[in-house]
Structure 1
Amino acid sequence: MSSAPKFASFRPKAKAPEPPPSEEPRREERDHTKRKASRETHRDERRSPQCKEHHQHDPSKKPYFSDRRGDIDIVKYGTPNRYDIPSYRRTGYGNVLGVPDQKIDREYSTDKKIYMTPLVRQRQKRLLTDRHAAGQSRRMLRLVKVAENHQADATRDFILLSGTGKRKRSHGSDSEENDDAAPDVDYRGIDGKTDPDKVDDPDTYYESDTGAANTNSEVTQKNSRLIRETRDDPSNLQAWLNLIDHQEAMMKLDRAIPELSAADRQNLADVRISTYEEALRKIGGVDASRIELQAGLLREAQQHWNDEKLSTRWQAVLEEQPHSVELWFGYLDFAQSTFTRYQYEACRAAFLKALEALQAAGSKNDSDTSQARMHLLVRLTTMMQDAGYQELAIAAWQAILEYSLMAPPSLTTDKMQQLEEFWESEALRIGEPDSKGWMHTSIEDAEPPTCSVVLETPGGPVSSVDEFRKRELEHVSKLRHPGRSTDEVGEDDPFHTIFFSDLKDVVANVPNAPAQMQIDAFLCFCGLPPLAGMPTRRPWWEDPCLQHCRSEMNCSMKLEPESPRFAEALLQYSRNPMPSFHMTSDLLVQQSFSPEFSRLDPGFVRNVLRLLATALPNNEAIGEYLLAFESAHFPSEVAKSAKRLLKANPTSVRLYTMYALAENKLGNTAKASQVFAAALAIKSPPADRLQLLLSYVWLALHSGDHREALNRLLSADTKSPRSISSAQSSLQSTLESALLASDLASAVPCTALLALLAYLTSSCDAPAALAVHANLTSWLTSHHLHASVYAETHAQHIAAFLAHHVSHTAVVRPDLIRSTLSPYIALFPSNTLLLATFAANEARFAVEDRVRGHMTRILNLSHASSASTWAFAIHHETLKGTIAGSTSHSVRALYRRATAVDAAGARSASLWGMWVGFEMASLRATLNIRGSRKLRTDGDGKKTKWQMRIEEQESRVRETFYEGLRRVPASKQFTMLAFTDASEVFADEELRRLYGVMAEKEMRLYVELGEPQEPKRPL
């Protein structure tokens, strides 16, 4: 019947409805339910409410249930309830029902427990090459000390088993030793394998309370203590700052590597922002404390907030604190380095507003804000130059120097109005040939200079990218200086001729600062080294936006594979792209004075220095700088300039010293010795005389003549040589007098002379000289001057002495430089002279990379890492080479860390330019492997590995460039890298878009790039 066909027309008869159940069974069921409910009710009355609820919702009574809450006892006991684990069923061949991707491990399984292993095992990583291996085993092992009664064990006639494990409890034992022991595992349980960290050797155990665990405990305890301090005294600013800084250590707990990922840094910023906001609510109305907290909050908010919210918060904070130097610099950093917010005119207006606000603060308060205002002027003029307005930037400094340093001594009317008349007369200005300065120029007889600039390419718009590149570079190179209205070149360019109305708002905000400060600021704008012998280090030399990169930096240079000699390694490491140290006369004459970064002609700088040295004859630092500058660019003019300067100031020992150093640099050693000997007979201040003698002694040491150096030390004050004890006592007396008078400018060179005397009279024993230096270091530390510029100069003297000792001694103790310089590097982590000496010493012992360890510790400290420190770390990594463990990936990782959002190099256009140059050098090195860039494909049309590497490297260049463009949108020079150094990577369409970006950011463009012309069709 079941197989009979069914038709739609056939309908079976409906089934009769089932009769309802009889009343009697239903009554019996109802009575049974009542009796059962009554028993349950009486039982529940004796139970707790929790047990009652658990019984009503017991999932075991259901055929299946959904566990959405989990078992809280798992957290408490650390393991699932073994009685809730269902029985497993084997399906054969080692398989278990419900676990298809695992099999029974017969090697570890027993009759009471089985172990499961994956079907496909992951390849085990090698311990030495796995970077995360250190973090996988967080507990440390330690050998257990031998028991005190181990000698008694030797007398026994049996071997005592180790007592570290617990004995199995026997029947009837009343010992409580095993009360907490876990029961035997049932054979039906499915557990993972035994803990791989478990040690089979009973003489070792996990050191859970030492090592890393102790460190973590100290970190957490310190965090708790800092929290209590902020709660006990909410108005304590330092307690809040300590708590905020400590959050990074909390974030690094239980990490194998100290670096934080981008996500971790964002989380850290989130934690710090909330802490800053809580501190602002509780700290009260103290302006200084609120300013520091607001600045830190907005600094952290760069990683977490969007640009719109950040800009709104900045505006509100500046309205609350309009006279804060720190807040204004923070806001200008944000305005100048945010791609979505930067516009040239808006950024220039923000700088002028900051200058006016600080000028008002300086007139209302007693605090000196002239240095901060001068710093702002350097930033403003550098921003103008970076945006392409180089004529305006140079004209601004011409007006500033004329207004502040070259003004006529007596002015009858308004000074600003007379400067405007002088400027509009188009007379010769400072820096131009034959200029005499405003005070010596007659406006009635003034004649504008003739323009000698000739452009090879005509003006007007162009349609080709190549033509735009050629003309733009020519205009940038030749139209450097501001033009006159009478010039025929650039007459159609509205930005080439600078009128006084373009400069008036800048000159009106010039502070009444000392001449040396203004000249030092001008040198920073020019990209030149600072003046020598300054008592303080100006803040603009440490500003990442103003730190320039040396043009002679070669990204592909390497040290020799073999251990290099110390002198060669020191020379390589000293060529740091961003040198940073305290300038002295001996170091100044060694500089290259390359003004290429600011595109200033050396003749222009020389004219400025000559005019200022003549107008300010008592300012020896300017004349000293002029001689050092001419020794690099105009060596034939050094003697003439020295004669003119010494005629105006015949008793200046500093000028004699620099002239002798310049002659020695030019190879005239005999002439230099004559100048030194003549200068020793001149009566001069103690500090200048001691520096002169020190340079004179080093002149003999550099030539390797130790006998002559000792003779110069002994006959410094007399015509005939003195005894060693007499010279030593004289120098010691001078040092004590200088320390009593706190004359550190004399104490530092005097200590260096005493150290050299001890060195030369003890058969070149370096520890004898270092002991003398250690005495001054102790004195500086006891007087809280261990971080001053004099302490840094003292450390540089020690580094120079160690470099000489290692270079002229056959056998040197390896840790001499290492142990001596490490404390000073900790004090001055950005000093590249100390870092170069340390790295050159370690280059001879490449087994242990101590330099990388030092740099890692320094760079992980936010207060110690600067753009110059990052540049040296990259320079060191580049020089090491592949043999020493450096690869392109390690260098790239350093660049990435140096330019992170919260790093010091994020706003450095020089660092970003170095990174693009490094990627381009890597691309060219890859291209040179085959010698051809033409992409050939295999027979199946797929690209070869070499071609894929080329495309990968080109994508790295693009990514680096565009990331840098987002971080330094105010730098036209960086954007032009796509048209010049990296032009082979970017197509014409991309370059046209970049031209549009520069126009949108209101950058100065000399040549207009029009639409591409369509090719003419053949007739």
Structure 2
Amino acid sequence: MASNAVPKFGSFKPKTKSESKQDSKPDSRSSGRSSHHKAKERSLPDDGRTRRREHDDSHGRQTSSLDKKHAEALWEPERKHQKLTDAPRAAELDEFEESTQFIVDRRGDAKNAVYGSLHRYNIPAYHRTGYGNVIGGLSSKIDREASDGKEVSLVSSLKPRVRSNSSRVLSSKYGKDSETKLRFITAQSDQADDRPGSDFIEITRAKRREHDYDGADDQSGSVDYRSIDGKAKANDPSIDDDLEVVDSDDNASTDLELRTRQESAVLSKKAKANPKSLEAWLALAEHQSKLVRPGIDVSSLTSSERRTLADLRLSIFNEASKHISPGTAGRESLLSAMVDEGRLVWDNAKLASKWKEALVEQNSSVLLWAKYLNFVQDSQSNFRYETCKHAYVECLNILHRACESANDASRPEISRIQIYLLLRFTVFVRGAGYDELAIAIWQALIEMHFFAPSSLSSAGVSERLSSLEEFWESEVARVGEENSLGWAKYHDSGEGTPRESQPAVKDKTVLCNSLQNFADEENTLGSAFLLPASTYDDDAVTDPFRCVMFSDIREVIEPLSNTKIQSWSIVESFFHFMRLPAISLQSIHLDACEWQRDSHLATSPGENSSFAATPQPERCLLPCRREMTAILFEDGFDALKSDLEQQPMRDTKLRFLDRVLESLGSVSTLNTPNGELLAEYYIAFKATLLPTETAKAAKRILKQRPSSMRLYNAYALAEGRSQMAKALEIWSAALSLQRRIESNQHHDLIYLWHSRFICQVKSGDERGALQLLLDTANGNKECIGVEDQSDHASEFSTRQLRLLRRIEEDLDRLYLLGRFEHAVLCADLLAWISYLTTENNTDRPLHIYSKYSAKFARDKGSIAIEQLHQCKVRLIQTHLERHRPHKPSVLQQELEDSLELFPDNSVLLELHARIATQDRIRALVREQKATSSISSFSVVQWAFKIGEEIRRSAHETSGSTSNTVRAAFSNALLRNDSTVSHSPALWLAWSRYEFASAGTNMQRARSVFLDGLRYLPWMKSWAIQGMKLFGDGTLSQSEMKQLYELLHERGLRVRVDVEKLL
């Protein structure tokens, strides 16, 4: 039907009035109301009917022609229809007789037959007059339940409607508290009221309805079944007679809302009384969440409510900015709070302009620059690689200037932020596909801070950079490469071993005859570990990004070239970049666990595998723990080992790490505490990844430091992985040297005691472990077996007391020296001795852990406290694995207390989940409590929550399903106020889950992939793997082309050229 065509209905034309006044019998189908009106009009005289028609005519002139016809049909029912001469028309008239509710269109529209329906947009709609009434239909009302978007159903208003059970939208009590409100009634005094007339009760006679009910029933307080109040309901026996039931609708001024408003008024007065105080304005802004929905946590607000809250807070911050002007204290934090709230209500253009204004005003603010990096890197519409890279470099320069002018007290904190931004930057560069550039930056920094020539120690920054540039451009082997001698050796002698040619990648145009093939090639090249190529390699010609010149890294190296940055912090951050376990270096103001809690830096096992990799529920998604010596040798490098097994060119990365660790271990600082730690770390690395080379490397290191008890312990732990007997020999030999070692090495004897004891307990020889510990502490090599304790009870008790006294003395001494890790091992031994000598009772050991945890807390030894709680987990795990009697509620409460201190520790979380499965109801209660603070969850907590849902969904009786798993992923990654929505580790876990459960339907996995494109704009591997796995038809050819163009638009690295295919 043409858009301009207007249907011409016959009903719009005036009907021809019959001049004759023939009386006709009314149609039997006429309504009762029409018959009633006809009867009344017949009884009236002619002048009465005339006046009635005149009234109708005057009424009709005030309406439209269509309404007039409806009115005439309603008020002049005796009007006769025109006679039709032919029989078919007469039959049609009988079939479609006009009613009082509508007019039949007898002419019709030919287009209705063509299109099968009326032209809905050219048909006048019913006009409502309120309360469901329709203009022109005085006896009809709209039936809300039977009507929909296409049809309007009318019902007679004269007949009683049958109410359905469905609630009305506007009158229902959605969102209101269903709890019955009660109000106390003050009892009247027993004293008589002396007021005149107080004993008079007026009884007014009410007009009785036609169907009244008996007064006796009314006086009894019950409701008759014939009453309009409906069926009588029994009184609630739980409601006291002295209480009055309050309607739930009357809760606008509840006590909670009243207190909230009062608090808001108090905070507002404080802010206005002291307008220069940022804390007062922030407290007022924070309180606004209680005004939006009193008693509800911010995380439970809807998107619209959250935007409303942001608007309220922005208005407060704008008012505060009038008083806290630029240059005053708190201005920096105020601008940060404004942009945090503005991102929920401003569009990207306005948010970007606000960020520019804030950075122009506070150009040296570390806080604002750090948050600005998140905005630039996470922006899905405005992300550009070069723009984000420039922002990182600018922020590093600002921190460099701040560090140069800072005092000794604040400099460590600035250095910590510098290292954090360096790590963020290199991870970002690698994610964008520029792996060689990221590796080159770390190589240059390690050369500068560990292998710098001693003659340049007092030289300026420009001179040192010039010398390093000369070394870099000479194309000699660098740190981590074969036959590397270092920058210092080259500077002193001018000689060095030339770099070896790097393995060549495939030609850029080979086999690239489709976009899916392009994705396969890119995925293969991107997952391989490639060192920067030499200028003489062929790859430097075909792919310029394979070769990294010093000019490419100078802008990053220069801000980090000062000697005020602690060199060992470079090593710690490099290990995290390479996905190695953390190392607890002493006197370093870093916390590697903070990096694992960062959504951009958190790494998970198997991160280099594809979307289609099978998820492993038994493995923690994001491990976060304090590394200790025993843990390092047990499974510290297992995650790296599994990642290397899934990578092409595995040996290249493994040998690179091996050479870096060996080079750092050969530095002259080996005799320092950090040098010993690094050597221990290297032995653990060898024992896990290169076990055949472990013994040779350990003996070589021990020759350089023959009196180090810690290195002897590392050698024994490495051998204990496969040969427990040989490990015991090494421990015994090392302990026999304790009289000949230096005095400052005696504190490391606790490593030997503890490691040997734990290894024996782990192997199942608890009695032998206790006996060896008793003999070692008493200096007696004759063993008294536990089975002989009945014959030597007094001697055994004496030896036990002597052992306990010595360990306690060592613990106090080490604690005073500040060697908290050593003190933790002493406390752990005390707990184990108590456990084994009290018939495996856990009460006394748990008390010991609590005692020393409180002691360490007094001196801010937070790392030591967390290590002590991890030791407690080992004891509880051993108790459970050997199926010994225990009280689940006691152990669960103990772990909940630990989790309150360290909610992100994956060791505590895993054991707590294991025990909680025995008491599912209590676990659900705890989860409900944790849900109230869901907005403050870290990426580790979200990962563990999701992992638990996946594990439980595998069991039908657990109550978890695939829908609950998807809901957990959605809450973590798609909420507006989520702090982990840009975590690559969580997005990768979601994609793997959807692929594993997709079967033949890939739509859910496709949806996750497209969402990930928005939240991970810098991740090239995400787009490439999606193209590879969905290129079989799930994504259309046009969508594949759009993805390819998106890579170029964002500035991400593309190694393979397919322009000829587009």
Mapped contact 2:572–2:583 kept (Cα < 8 A)? yes
* Residue of structure 1 equivalent to 2:1009: 961
Deviation by residue 1:792-847 (Cα, 9 ceiling, x = unmatched): 2222222222222222243211112211011221221111111111001112334x
List aligned pairs for 1:581-660, cutoff 5 A. 581-589=625-633, 590-591=635-636, 592-594=638-640, 601-615=653-667, 616-617=669-670, 618=672, 619-660=675-716
SS in 1 for 2:363: coil
Q: Which amino acid aligns with 1:430?
A: V
1:668 to 723, 728, 731: 723
Does the C-alpha gap of structure 1 residues 2 and 647 become closer, same or farther in structure 2, counting only changes over 3 Å?
closer
Residue 335 (str. 1) matches residue 376 (str. 2) = yes
Does the C-alpha gap of structure 1 residues 902 and 629 become closer, same or farther in structure 2, counting only changes over 3 Å?
farther
How far 1:275 moved relative to its partner?
3.1
* Residue of structure 2 equivalent to 1:431: 480
Does the C-alpha gap of structure 1 residues 657 and 249 become closer, same or farther in structure 2, counting only changes over 3 Å?
farther
Does the C-alpha gap of structure 1 residues 472 and 843 become closer, same or farther in structure 2, counting only changes over 3 Å?
same
* Residue of structure 1 equivalent to 2:621: 577
Does the C-alpha gap of structure 1 residues 537 and 692 become closer, same or farther in structure 2, counting only changes over 3 Å?
farther
| Higher mean C-alpha deviation, range 705-714 or range 448-457 | 448-457
Residue 1008 (str. 1) matches residue 1057 (str. 2) = yes
Does the C-alpha gap of structure 1 residues 757 and 228 become closer, same or farther in structure 2, counting only changes over 3 Å?
farther
* Residue of structure 2 equivalent to 1:797: 871
* Residue of structure 2 equivalent to 1:475: 525
Does the C-alpha gap of structure 1 residues 492 and 543 become closer, same or farther in structure 2, counting only changes over 3 Å?
same
In 2, Cα distance between equivalents of 1:376 and 1:1002? 21
In 2, Cα distance between equivalents of 1:197 and 1:428? 92
* Residue of structure 1 equivalent to 2:45: none
In 2, Cα distance between equivalents of 1:806 and 1:258? 37
* Residue of structure 1 equivalent to 2:456: 411
Q: Which amino acid aligns with 1:966?
A: R
In 2, Cα distance between equivalents of 1:760 and 1:374? 45
* Residue of structure 1 equivalent to 2:997: 922
* Residue of structure 1 equivalent to 2:803: 727
Deviation by residue 1:865-899 (Cα, 9 ceiling, x = unmatched): 21111111111111012421111221111112212
Larger radius of gyration: 2
Residue 998 (str. 1) matches residue 1028 (str. 2) = no
In 2, Cα distance between equivalents of 1:586 and 1:281? 58
In 2, Cα distance between equivalents of 1:649 and 1:906? 48
How far 1:263 moved relative to its partner?
2.3
How far 1:178 moved relative to its partner?
11
| Higher mean C-alpha deviation, range 406-415 or range 184-193 | 184-193
Mapped contact 2:777–2:806 kept (Cα < 8 A)? no
* Residue of structure 1 equivalent to 2:970: 896
List aligned pairs for 1:732-771, cutoff 5 A. 732-740=808-816, 743-771=819-847
How far 1:404 moved relative to its partner?
1.4
| Higher mean C-alpha deviation, range 363-372 or range 529-538 | 529-538
Does the C-alpha gap of structure 1 residues 743 and 625 become closer, same or farther in structure 2, counting only changes over 3 Å?
closer
Q: TM-score normalized by structure 2?
A: 0.72
In 1, Cα distance between equivalents of 2:486 and 2:268? 62
Unaligned runs of 5+ in 2: 1-15, 21-129, 147-158, 213-226, 781-795
How far 1:272 moved relative to its partner?
2.8
How far 1:587 moved relative to its partner?
2.1
How far 1:971 moved relative to its partner?
0.9
SS in 1 for 2:904: coil
Q: Which amino acid aligns with 1:577?
A: L
* Residue of structure 1 equivalent to 2:501: 451
Does the C-alpha gap of structure 1 residues 184 and 374 become closer, same or farther in structure 2, counting only changes over 3 Å?
farther
2:489 to 440, 443, 460: 440
Mapped contact 2:622–2:944 kept (Cα < 8 A)? yes
Mapped contact 1:379–1:546 kept (Cα < 8 A)? yes
Q: Which amino acid aligns with 2:985?
A: S
List aligned pairs for 1:818-897, cutoff 5 A. 818-846=892-920, 848=921, 850=923, 853-855=925-927, 857-858=929-930, 860-861=932-933, 864-881=936-953, 882-897=956-971
Deviation by residue 1:515-569 (Cα, 9 ceiling, x = unmatched): 321101111211222113656514434321111122179999999xxxxxxxxxx
List aligned pairs for 1:28-177, cutoff 5 A. 119-122=163-166, 137-139=177-179
Q: Which amino acid aligns with 2:1058?
A: L
How far 1:854 moved relative to its partner?
3.8
Deviation by residue 1:72-99 (Cα, 9 ceiling, x = unmatched): xxxxxxxxxxxxxx9999xxxxx99868
SS in 2 for 1:122: coil
In 1, Cα distance between equivalents of 2:204 and 2:702? 94
How far 1:604 moved relative to its partner?
1.0
In 1, Cα distance between equivalents of 2:839 and 2:306? 54
How far 1:920 moved relative to its partner?
2.1
| Higher mean C-alpha deviation, range 577-586 or range 853-862 | 853-862
1:970 to 1013, 1018, 1043: 1018
Aligned identity (percent) is 26
Residue 310 (str. 1) matches residue 351 (str. 2) = yes
Does the C-alpha gap of structure 1 residues 623 and 714 become closer, same or farther in structure 2, counting only changes over 3 Å?
same
In 1, Cα distance between equivalents of 2:511 and 2:205? 89
| Higher mean C-alpha deviation, range 512-521 or range 238-247 | 238-247
Does the C-alpha gap of structure 1 residues 977 and 87 become closer, same or farther in structure 2, counting only changes over 3 Å?
closer
In 2, Cα distance between equivalents of 1:988 and 1:507? 43
In 1, Cα distance between equivalents of 2:290 and 2:859? 28
Does the C-alpha gap of structure 1 residues 257 and 808 become closer, same or farther in structure 2, counting only changes over 3 Å?
farther
In 2, Cα distance between equivalents of 1:87 and 1:515? 79
In 2, Cα distance between equivalents of 1:166 and 1:192? 34
Q: Which amino acid aligns with 1:968?
A: L
Residue 346 (str. 1) matches residue 418 (str. 2) = no
SS in 2 for 1:453: coil
How far 1:365 moved relative to its partner?
2.3
How far 1:698 moved relative to its partner?
1.4
Deviation by residue 1:114-144 (Cα, 9 ceiling, x = unmatched): x9985332399xxxxxxx9997644269999
In 1, Cα distance between equivalents of 2:647 and 2:932? 32
Does the C-alpha gap of structure 1 residues 830 and 974 become closer, same or farther in structure 2, counting only changes over 3 Å?
same
How far 1:235 moved relative to its partner?
4.0
SS in 2 for 1:883: helix
Does the C-alpha gap of structure 1 residues 601 and 134 become closer, same or farther in structure 2, counting only changes over 3 Å?
farther
List aligned pairs for 1:376-391, cutoff 5 A. 376-391=421-436
* Residue of structure 1 equivalent to 2:606: 551
How far 1:393 moved relative to its partner?
0.8
- Pairwise CA RMSD: 4.4
In 2, Cα distance between equivalents of 1:607 and 1:344? 32
How far 1:344 moved relative to its partner?
1.0
Q: Which amino acid aligns with 2:236?
A: V
In 2, Cα distance between equivalents of 1:670 and 1:752? 24
Mapped contact 2:804–2:830 kept (Cα < 8 A)? yes
Q: TM-score normalized by structure 1?
A: 0.74
How far 1:186 moved relative to its partner?
8.7
Deviation by residue 1:730-780 (Cα, 9 ceiling, x = unmatched): 223333444555553343222222222221221111110111122123334
| Higher mean C-alpha deviation, range 807-816 or range 269-278 | 269-278
How far 1:978 moved relative to its partner?
0.9
In 2, Cα distance between equivalents of 1:292 and 1:348? 25
In 2, Cα distance between equivalents of 1:876 and 1:177? 72
Q: Which amino acid aligns with 2:163?
A: L
1:199 to 236, 243, 255: 236
